[in-house]
């Protein structure tokens, strides 16, 4: 039997009131609150928080506050090199 998180990730109907999902949302809210409270000179701290929040990231990541999400771990960001040819 699938967990509510597994159902959510696979796009099935799920119970958002599940204890594990509630804890996941609280964790994401904590990390986004900390991220949104950073100032413009805290690029490294911002990146550290986003790497904890997101499911995966490339080596380079930039997001401006104010940022919000429900869980974060289902967000995957890839770094891309911009060619100027």
Cβ neighbour number for residue 48 with a 10 Å cutoff? 16
> Whole-model pTM?
0.85
Q: Where are the domains of the chain?
A: 1-85
Per-residue pLDDT of 55-65, as tens digits, reads 999 888 889 99
Beta bridge partners of 76: 56
Fold of 1-85: UDP N-Acetylglucosamine Acyltransferase; domain 1 (2.160.10)
Per-residue pLDDT of 19-54, as tens digits, reads 999 999 999 999 999 999 999 999 999 999 999 999
CA gap 22, 56 in Å, rounded: 21
CB 62 within 8 A of CB 44: no
């Amino acid at each position: 039997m699938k967990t509510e998180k597994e159902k959510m990730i696979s796009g099935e109907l799920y119970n958002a009131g599940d204890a594990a999902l509630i804890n996941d949302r609280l964790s994401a809210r904590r990390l986004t609150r900390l991220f949104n409270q950073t100032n413009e000179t805290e690029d490294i701290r911002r990146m550290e928080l986003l790497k904890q929040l997101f499911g995966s990231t490339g080596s380079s990541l930039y997001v401006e506050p104010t940022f919000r999400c429900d869980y974060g771990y289902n967000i995957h960001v890839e770094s891309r090199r911009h060619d100027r040819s």
